[in-house]
A = this chain, B = another copy of it.
Amino acid sequence: MKALSIKDIAVKANVSITTVSFIINGKAKEKSISEAVIEKVEKIIQESGYKPNQIARSLRTGNSNIIGLIVEDISNSFFAKIARLIEDKAYKRGYKIIYSSTENSVEKAQELINMFKTRKVDAYIISPIKGIEEDIRMLLSDDKPVILFDRNLADVDVNYVGANHFNASYQSIESFVAQGKKNIALVTTDIDVEQITERFDGYKKALLDNGLAYNDELVLKIHFNQDEETTINQIKNLFNTQKIDAVLFATNYLAISGLKVLKQIKKKIGSEFSVIAYDDHEAFELHTPGISTVQQPLEDIAETVIKLLLNQLSSKTKIPNQQVIIPATLIIRD
């Protein structure tokens, strides 16, 4: 049972393909097709269940109503949640999402961008990594809307939506200081993206502003993509060798590893030892005691991303790129 084509409809209705096409695309009025024909054709379409072949449509029009979404890892709850929100909002506006995970690999990211390009996606939403600046510039020079989110790339002029990582990190440290903490550690990753360096900068600045010395030994940079066991050992080592009374984890998965360590070495979180995690996670609310977190406004981010995208898609002229920084909030739990 082959799928119906516009031709089948045209034959059945005894009109030309052109006429059917006009009707499908709501141009019947403006092309002066009579009421009678419109009705007849629409009835036939209804009854036969005909659906236009989007591939053919894409080939002809050059766009696909598909938005490509590239994230680091869709199984990370932060990305999964954002993806879901974006998908939802896009869907309501008639766009579909194709997504893929880069696993922090430059080559994979480049392949993905190429793949999307050959599929003629209409726009790109990317949580980028360093090393794909050139590829992104190419997209921009093709006049395709591109929105970066979560992470920015310093030397590309492009739309960006993200949280205020510096501030969030700064505030987290200040809240530690307010509790009288003196030896505050940071567990972060060595991914070279602004988002991560901002978190580091916020940490450092807050220490210095509050008269605490910055101590390299208290900062652990975990290699991205390494297996969790190694991570756990490194964190364990940090906790065992350094005198620490508070720790900020720069991502939620690092915090989860960290909490596993605490469980293993039976160190309790409490007045002696405080923890804040960046990016919330179900586990943090459930944990006893609750883990304080920096919550990124997922809903706001998704909404802003989509809004920026649709603006670009619907405007003929080039809209200047925007950088939208959304405040994150520190949720104190115990």
Contact = CB atoms under 8 A, between A and B. Distances in A.
A234 interface: no
Contacts of A282: 256, 281-283
Copies, count: 2
A77 to B, nearest CB: 6
A43 to B, nearest CB: 19
A283 B286 CA distance: 7
A100 B117 CA distance: 21
Q: Which 10 interchain pairs have the tightest Cβ spacing? A: A283-B283, A75-B84, A80-B80, A54-B118, A75-B80, A75-B81, A55-B58, A55-B59, A98-B98, A51-B118
Interface of A: 1, 3, 51-56, 58-59, 64, 66, 73-77, 80-81, 83-84, 87-88, 91, 96-101, 114-115, 117-120, 141-142, 256, 259-260, 263, 281-283, 285-288
24 contacts: A1-B142, A53-B59, A54-B119, A54-B120, A55-B59, A55-B64, A55-B120, A56-B59, A59-B59, A73-B84, A75-B77, A75-B80, A76-B80, A77-B77, A84-B101, A87-B100, A87-B101, A98-B98, A99-B99, A256-B286, A281-B283, A283-B283, A283-B287, A287-B287
